[in-house]
């Protein structure tokens, strides 16, 4: 149960809708799972990646978080 909650929290931080877990959805794109990895479409406004400086999640169009700028 704790693992499921951790996975759901991680998916929410990455911009996914987990209301139909284990299926992931995104309100802005046609999200899908490839080899067990949830992915957004290219240029999705909800897509996130790790900051190049400290590994905090930031939007795709930003390279560094505010603390690392």
Range of the domain at 16: 2-43
Its pTM stands at: 0.71
Predicted confidence band at 5 (pLDDT cuts at 50, 70, 90)? confident
Q: Which of 17, 65, 10, 9 is nearest to 44 (CA)?
A: 17
pLDDT of residue 35: 87
pLDDT of residue 26: 92
Helix (H) or strand (E) holding 9: helix 2-13
The total number of structural domains in the chain stands at 1
pLDDT of residue 25: 92
Tell whether 20 is covered by a domain. yes
On the question of pLDDT at 1 being above 70, the answer is no
Read off the pLDDT of residues 23-64 as tens digits, 9 standing for 90 and up.
889 999 999 888 888 899 988 988 988 898 898 889 888 889
Tell whether 55 is covered by a domain. no
Tell whether 58 is covered by a domain. no
């Amino acid at each position: 149960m704790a693992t499921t909650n951790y996975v759901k929290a991680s998916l929410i931080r990455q911009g996914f809708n987990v209301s139909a877990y284990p299926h992931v959805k995104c309100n802005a794109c046609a999200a899908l799972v490839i080899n067990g990895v949830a992915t957004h479409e290219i240029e999705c406004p909800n897509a996130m990646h790790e900051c190049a400086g400290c590994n905090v999640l930031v939007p795709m169009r930003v390279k560094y978080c505010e603390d690392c700028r």
